[in-house]
A and B are shown apart, each in its own frame.
Chain A
Amino acid sequence: MLSAIRSRKRLQLLLGFLTGLLFGFLLQRGQVTSYGVIIGQLLLRDMTVIRVMLSAAVTGMVGLTVLGRLGLVTLHPKPGSAGTSIAGGLIFGAGFGLLGYCPGTMVGALGSGALDAASGIAGALFGAGIFAALYPRLSRGILGWGDFGDLTLPELLRVHRWVVVLPLSLLIVLFLVLSG
């Protein structure tokens, strides 16, 4: 049943659009497509962005562990290294602070009328093009530094998934209650 849905290409394009439609709706209604809300988070004055992200993370974390146990989903943790996650993450962060949107929220911001997001999108396309041009050199160098592959926290700590998911979920819920 699921594999039949997953293998139909046209249906997947439609599902992608419908998923995006709901995602964009929820991002806008959660107010995280707003420049003021995102900058407020980065200045630590408004916890909206972190609250949305952690609510999504805890829902997904518990759901994936259950669905994984039932054999209904396969996890796809991204491989990484110190060179990709730390260096790339900091470059992204600098752009995040200067632009005041991230890739998904800037598309949503444009949809809700924020015209500065159009320049952000143009810039991000240019930036992605720069990366594609630099990729052969970077992949032989910094991207491989401190490579840890597609490691997950339970694998790193050599414990069962629930040993990570349960305490972490409780901590996140506690944070959501206290920051509300």
Chain B
Amino acid sequence: MGELLRQAAWSPVAAGIGIGILALLCFLLSDKPLACSTSFARTSGMIERLLRGDRVLRKDYYRKFPPVIDWQWMLVAGIFAGALLSSLLSGTFRLEWVPAAWAGRFGETVLTRQLAAFAGGVLLGLGARWANGCTSGHGMSGIMQNAVSSWLATLMFFAGGAAAAAILYGKAG
């Protein structure tokens, strides 16, 4: 057991089966699909409320998804803690400003990577709400329910992602 907890990586299939079981437990114990991106909308609403006051609550979208801490918000907080724990136990935790693969193509400049990450994040946050789900809610929980919306959205996530990566890295990259 101790050995297993210290391994740098587990097989993708083992990790995937574990996530699948976890998703089933969410349906059983919480009657909810395992998902992430609604919490970004709720948090965005919380920040906007701090800056602009309670009139933010009257926005149509925040009536639908009130800016409060709920089950899924705690789940996203848990992801941070779980990844931190895993990387510390396995010794893979490393503070890093620029990922190696990015640096190999675009250089070590921190600002360039941060700007790209922010811009990518804006599209990711906008697209996740537009599509009503992300790689967790559609890509895993939605596909396991065989929802048409989720199969279609997930194909588009990867088609769009592959196109963007091909443009950034070119054929040789």
- Chain A contact residues, CB within 8 Å of chain B: 2, 5-6, 12-36, 39-40, 42-44, 47-48, 51-61, 63-64, 67, 72-82, 84-117, 119-133, 135-136, 138-139, 143, 148, 150-154, 156, 161, 164-165, 168, 176, 180
Which residues of the other chain, B, contact A28 by a CB distance below 8 angstroms? Answer: 82-83, 86-87, 92
Q: Are B15 and A29 in contact (CB under 8 A)?
A: yes
Q: Are B86 and A106 in contact (CB under 8 A)?
A: no
Task: Give B53 Cβ to nearest chain A Cβ, in Å.
Answer: 15
Q: Are A42 and B161 in contact (CB under 8 A)?
A: yes
Tell me what chain B mostly uses at the interface: helix, strand, loop, or mixed. helix
Tell me what chain A mostly uses at the interface: helix, strand, loop, or mixed. helix
Contact of A108 among B79, B127, B140, B161 (CB under 8 A): B79
Q: How far is the CA of A133 from the CA of B102 in the complex (A)?
A: 32
Q: Are A6 and B29 in contact (CB under 8 A)?
A: yes
How many A-B contacts are there with CB distance less than 8 Å?
540
Which residues of the other chain, B, contact A108 by a CB distance below 8 angstroms? Answer: 79-80, 82-83
Q: Are B15 and A26 in contact (CB under 8 A)?
A: yes
Q: Are B124 and A29 in contact (CB under 8 A)?
A: no
Task: Give A79 Cβ to nearest chain B Cβ, in Å.
Answer: 6
Of residues 40 to 59 in B, which have CB atoms within 8 Å of A's CB atoms?
40-41, 43-45, 47-48, 59
Q: How far is the CA of A20 from the CA of B136 in the complex (A)?
A: 12
